[in-house]
């Protein structure tokens, strides 16, 4: 059974940083995409960062240069380092995964999802 569990959310002031973690278990595909999504109240879910099994990363324009996705393949943990946070980054953040190789992971539907971690940025 595949499980994804996010952690690291919280409340910070604008300009601050947070690092989100996603612990992955039961996912055995050697080729994969792993993404971070976010959904703010009243808005559609947005894919913000993705990483594939060869380490290629892609980002939404809204976070490019501020967020960095990475993975620890030994610990099976996905990370999202978020810097220069702004109030518009306030959202529930989710990690998700799918099997199979894709160059741009942000373009594809995910098969497995975590339950999310809340990030709140105050001005």
What tens digit of pLDDT does each residue of 28-72 get?
A: 999 999 999 999 999 999 999 999 999 999 999 999 999 999 999
Residue 109 CA to residue 93 CA, distance in Å, equals 16
* Mean pLDDT, range 15-22, rounded to an integer: 98
Per-residue confidence (pLDDT) for residue 2, from 0 to 100: 96
The answer to whether the beta carbons of residues 12 and 18 sit under 8 Å apart is yes
> Residue 73 pLDDT more than 90?
no
Q: How many CB atoms lie within 10 A of CB 121?
A: 20
> Residue 109 pLDDT more than 90?
yes
């Amino acid at each position: 059974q595949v499980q994804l569990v996010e952690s690291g959310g919280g409340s910070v002031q604008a300009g601050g940083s947070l690092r989100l973690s996603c612990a992955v278990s039961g996912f055995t595909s050697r080729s994969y995409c792993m993404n971070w999504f976010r959904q703010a109240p009243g808005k559609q879910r947005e894919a913000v960062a993705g990483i594939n099994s060869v380490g290629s990363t892609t980002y939404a324009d809204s976070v490019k240069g501020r967020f960095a996705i990475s993975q620890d393949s030994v610990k099976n943990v996905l990370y999202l380092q978020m810097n220069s946070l702004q109030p518009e980054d306030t959202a529930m953040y989710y990690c998700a995964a799918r099997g199979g190789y894709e160059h741009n992971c942000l373009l594809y539907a995910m098969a497995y999802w975590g339950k999310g971690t809340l990030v709140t940025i105050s001005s």
